[in-house]
Every structure is written in C-alpha cells, then in structure tokens.
C-alpha cells in the first residue's frame, strides 16, 4: 500500500467533487472456479484499490460525500478461517493504513443506504456484485446498471487518469518486470518448442517476482490473431513469434508490451521490411506525444506511416492520405494505437471506454479500425498509455474485402494475396505524458531489427 495520506486525500478529493450523498464502492469477493473453496486467483476491484488500497476479499467501502467520513464494511476472520489461512491483518489495522476508516458490520450497510440520501455507484461488471447491490439498494439487477452515477464515473476517470509520482513508480516497476518477460521470450524461443513452453517461461519471469501477468499472455506464431491464447503451435524456422505480455506491480499497477521476433536468428527480407514499417509507425506515433495533442492524431500519424510503407512495397496504392481517410490501412492495422494504463491494463475500461478515451468534443469514429481506438482524447501530463501499432495479414478479412471491393482503389489485392501466410507484427511500449512531451517507461529492450537479430543470434548460439 502507499502511505495512508494517499488514500485519505484521494477520498477527500472525490467527496468534494461529488458534494452530496453517499459513494458506494464495493470490493470483490473470492470468485469460485468449480466449487466454492477452489477460486480463481483473487483480484481486488481497481477502484476499491485506488481509494482504499486494501487487497482482501469481502469488504465494501462507503464515502459520505458531505462529511468526508469513510466507512469500511467487513468482518475480521474468525479462528475457523485462520486455521486454514494463517494469521490475518485486522480491519482496524487496515483502517489505519488506509488513512482512517470507520469499520462497521456488513449488516449495517443496508440501513445506511436506505436513508433518503442519493447513493452514487459505478456500473457493476461482475454478476455477484450486481446481485449484491440489487439486494442493498432494493432494485432489480437491470435497474442497478441503469442507475449508475455518471457524475461519479466522470469524477473517478478524471482523478485516476492523472498518475501521481508514486503511481508512475509503481507502473514503472511493473514495466521493468514486463521487460524481463520479453527478454525471457527472446532468449528462450527455439525451433521445435511449443508456444506453451515459451509462454510458461514468460509467465515464470513474472511469477519469480511474486507477480502475475496483468492480462492473459498473447504468444503465438499466428500473430495475426489479435488476442491469440491458443499456445498449441510448434515454433519452426522462418516463423515470427509475437509476444504481448505484461506484469502487475505488487499494488496491481500494470505493464503491457509487445515484441515480435524471428524464431530463426534473422528476419527474412520480407519480415524485415514489414517489421521496419511497424517500427517506423511506432516512432512516428511516439514523436507526436505531448500534452494537448488528441491521441487520435497519433493514431492517424502511425496509420499514415503504415500506408506509406505498404505503398512502397506495392501492397497499397493511390494517395496515402486519402487511403487513411478511407480507412484502407485498417485491412492491415485494424486496432487502435493504444490505451490508458494504470491499475487496469486497459485502465478503467469497466467504467466505460468512451468516458476514459473520449470527450464531448472528440467522439469515437464508427469507421472499421478507427472505431477500435480506445483513446482518442487530448493528452495531459500524468497520462500513462501504450503505443502499439501493428501490421497483420488476416486471411478471412482479406478475402471479405476483396470480394466486396472494399477500399479497392487503395489496395493491391493481387500482391496482398501473396502475403496471406505472413502472420502479424506488433511492437508496443509504455509512455508517460510529461509537461513537455513523453517519457518511455521501464528500461529499453531490443526493438530495432539489428537489436532483435543480435539477441536472437545470441540465444540460438
Ligand atoms: N495487450 C493487450 C491489449 O492491449 O489488448
Ligand atoms: Mn496494449
């Protein structure tokens, strides 16, 4: 946990912003996998962590927005539990560590919520939380979701979007472990291994620090499947291996990086050409980063770089600016350039992607590709985000666009056809927006063609 004042000050700032009524912030319970005592790894709710910092199941937080008093509803573990779990931190101790909470019995919560004061809460995303809130609030589950407080969502997004120095340090700790995960992948992969064998080593690099990944590891020679969790293929000479993985810090802040490298010790000419375009797109996006710039502009700058590179290879044609405006590049780059990152790898996505990534002035596009950009709004100092362009050859998408003639003025389908077995390349780093520009988080790891080939040659020697 951070210092007690951190949590107290965050709660006071939120209470002042909301101004009236009660703010209900439920923590998580254990979540059963196949029977009650066999749970998924416990993961506390990130907003609860942000305001209370307590990593324990079975707790609910409540903030009185008028008096500023904060309550913690829960029970200390009985001896029956301690026999199985060992000695546990008392709620009174958590209360001190969290900056001063009034500890109350869970049975008292309904009565406090049942007064005629407004109750602000976030849209629940776990079914058991929705059901619990329905019981507390005397609503049915659908009404619970409809009744979520937009004012609370906006206030929390505003607060959590700006990372403090101690949060940046925590994120950077996660990114450093993340870098080790990627170095492990680059040093481990060999022809004949399965994706699962490499994935296990990458996972182990996080576990060795006592940390879990911040999201399910994507590691595949079929990098064109954007969220590929299969791990069943065997690595062969000539393949590209895409690894998208991140660790959590002890306080659950996330890292998220991607590297794509040859299973052989060198890229083929074709692989090197596409890799260099993705790297150029990453650098073009990074160069735009500064406060006040809408991140959508960074995305479009990377898209333009991709279109220019693919035109030079004869895969695209025509005016590249017109091609990007038409969304033609999205055949190869169908996702967004990046997303906010913090306590969640896609930070605060449970509060609603558009609240986090868009504003009244900058709204989400409906165009294929651009519509998947999670962050379009103007950047501000303290934002932490990913930059992750990619180029993929997705056979079913190519077939559909060709059959429909989609963006045919800008795409050379005969040549694209010859790349259908290529796979995909993504390169991703994490950045902090500063007062003057942006700073790479963590320690640089191999990224240029020469650096990647060097580490692969060393690994295979
Ligand atoms: N790293 C996975 C994603 O950003 O969706
Ligand atoms: Mn990402």
In this predicted model, what pLDDT tens digit does every residue of 229-248 receive, in sequence order?
Answer: 999 999 999 999 999 999 99
Tokens linked to 42: 């416990």
The per-residue pLDDT for range 152-178, each reduced to its tens digit, is: 999 999 999 999 999 999 999 999 999
Does residue 244's CB lie within 6 angstroms of at least one atom of ligand 1? yes
Task: Give 310 Cα–ligand 1 centroid separation in angstroms.
Answer: 24
d(C-alpha 60, C-alpha 309), whole Å:
52
d(C-alpha 379, C-alpha 105), whole Å:
43
Q: Angle at Cα 168 formed by Cα 226 and Cα 93, nearest 5°? A: 110
Does residue 429's CB lie within 6 angstroms of at least one atom of ligand 1? no
pLDDT at residue number 4:
98
Which atom of ligand 1 is least distant from the CA of 244? Answer: 1
Does residue 347's CB lie within 6 angstroms of at least one atom of ligand 1? no
pLDDT at residue number 23:
98
pLDDT at residue number 115:
85
* H helix intervals, 90-164: 91-97, 109-113, 127-137, 141-146, 150-161
Task: Give 149 Cα–ligand 1 centroid separation in angstroms.
Answer: 28
Does residue 167's CB lie within 6 angstroms of at least one atom of ligand 1? no
pLDDT at residue number 101:
98
Closest by CA to 360, choosing from 376, 380, 342, is: 376
Does residue 172's CB lie within 6 angstroms of at least one atom of ligand 1? no
Buried b / exposed e along 206-242 (16+ C-beta atoms within 10 A): beebebebbbebbbbbbbbebebeebebebeeebbbb
Q: Which of 388, 430, 431 to mutate to test the pocket of ligand 1 (most atoms within 8 A of CB)?
A: 388
d(C-alpha 172, C-alpha 257), whole Å:
12
Cβ atoms within 10 A of the Cβ of 415, count?
A: 14
Does residue 344's CB lie within 6 angstroms of at least one atom of ligand 1? no
Task: Give 139 Cα–ligand 2 centroid separation in angstroms.
Answer: 37
Q: Which of 248, 255, 256 to mutate to test the pocket of ligand 1 (most atoms within 8 A of CB)?
A: 256
Q: What is the CA radius of gyration of the chain?
A: 24
pLDDT at residue number 320:
98
pLDDT at residue number 255:
98
d(C-alpha 356, C-alpha 224), whole Å:
27
> Are the C-beta atoms of residues 314 and 412 closer than 8 Å to each other?
yes
Which atom of ligand 1 is least distant from the CA of 256? Answer: 1
Closest by CA to 126, choosing from 141, 139, 115, 112, is: 141
Does residue 256's CB lie within 6 angstroms of at least one atom of ligand 1? yes
Does residue 430's CB lie within 6 angstroms of at least one atom of ligand 1? no
249 Cβ contact list (under 8 Å, min separation 6): 170, 171, 173, 174, 177, 211, 255
The per-residue pLDDT for range 388-444, each reduced to its tens digit, is: 999 999 999 999 999 999 999 999 999 999 999 999 999 999 999 999 999 999 999
Q: Which of 245, 345, 374 to mutate to test the pocket of ligand 1 (most atoms within 8 A of CB)?
A: 345
Does residue 453's CB lie within 6 angstroms of at least one atom of ligand 1? no
* Total residue count of the chain as it appears in this document: 461
Which atom of ligand 1 is least distant from the CA of 338? Answer: 4
Task: Give 156 Cα–ligand 1 centroid separation in angstroms.
Answer: 22
Cβ atoms within 10 A of the Cβ of 330, count?
A: 22
Angle at which helices 150-161 and 4-18 pack, to 10 degrees? 140
> Which three-class secondary structure state does DSSP give residue 321?
helix
Q: Domains of the chain by range and CATH?
A: 4-161 (3.40.350.10), 165-460 (3.90.230.10)
Q: Which of 181, 226, 242, 244 to mutate to test the pocket of ligand 1 (most atoms within 8 A of CB)?
A: 244
- Residues in the chain, pLDDT under 50: none
């Amino acid at each position: 946990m951070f210092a007690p004042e951190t949590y107290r000050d965050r709660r006071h700032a939120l209470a002042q912003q909301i101004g009236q009524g009660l703010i209900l912030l439920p923590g998580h319970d254990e979540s059963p996998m196949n029977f009650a005592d066999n749970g998924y790894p416990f993961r506390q709710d990130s907003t609860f962590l942000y305001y209370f910092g307590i990593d324990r199941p079975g707790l609910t937080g409540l903030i009185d927005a008028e008096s500023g008093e904060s309550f913690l509803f829960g029970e200390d573990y009985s001896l029956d539990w301690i026999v199985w779990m060992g000695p546990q931190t008392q709620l009174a101790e958590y209360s001190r560590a969290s900056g001063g909470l009034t500890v109350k019995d869970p049975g008292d919560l309904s009565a406090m919520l049942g007064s005629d004061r407004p109750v602000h809460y976030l849209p629940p995303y776990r079914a058991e939380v929705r059901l619990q809130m329905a019981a507390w609030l005397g609503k049915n589950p659908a009404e619970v979701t409809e009744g979520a407080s937009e004012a609370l969502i906006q206030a929390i997004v505003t607060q959590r979007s700006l990372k403090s120095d101690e949060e940046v340090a925590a994120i950077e700790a996660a990114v450093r472990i993340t870098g080790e995960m990627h170095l492990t992948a680059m040093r481990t992969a060999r022809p004949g291994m399965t994706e699962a064998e490499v994935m296990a080593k990458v996972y182990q690099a996080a576990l060795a620090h006592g940390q879990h990944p911040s999201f399910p590891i994507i590691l595949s020679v079929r990098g064109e499947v954007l969220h590929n969790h299969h791990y069943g293929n065997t690595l062969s000479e000539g393949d590209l291996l895409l690894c998208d993985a991140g660790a959590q810090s002890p306080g659950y802040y996330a890292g998220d990086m991607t590297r794509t490298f040859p299973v052989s010790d060198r890229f083929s000419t074709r692989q090197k050409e596409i890799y260099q375009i993705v790297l150029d797109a990453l650098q073009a996006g990074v160069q735009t980063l500064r406060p006040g710039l809408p991140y959508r502009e960074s995305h479009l700058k990377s898209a333009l770089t991709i279109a220019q590179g693919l035109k030079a290879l004869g895969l695209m044609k025509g005016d590249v600016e017109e091609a990007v405006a038409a969304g033609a590049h999205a055949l190869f780059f169908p996702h967004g350039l990046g997303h906010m990152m913090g306590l969640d790898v896609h930070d605060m996505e449970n509060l609603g992607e558009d609240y986090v990534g868009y504003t009244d002035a900058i709204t989400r596009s409906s165009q294929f590709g651009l519509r998947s950009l999670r962050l379009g709004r103007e950047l501000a100092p303290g934002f932490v985000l990913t930059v992750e362009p990619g180029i993929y050859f997705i056979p079913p998408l190519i077939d559909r666009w060709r059959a429909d003639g989609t963006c045919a003025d800008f795409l050379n389908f005969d040549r694209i056809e010859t790349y259908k077995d290529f796979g995909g390349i993504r390169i991703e780093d994490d950045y902090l927006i500063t007062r003057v520009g942006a700073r790479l988080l963590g320690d640089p790891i191999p990224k240029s063609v020469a650096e990647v080939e060097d580490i692969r040659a060393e690994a295979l020697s």
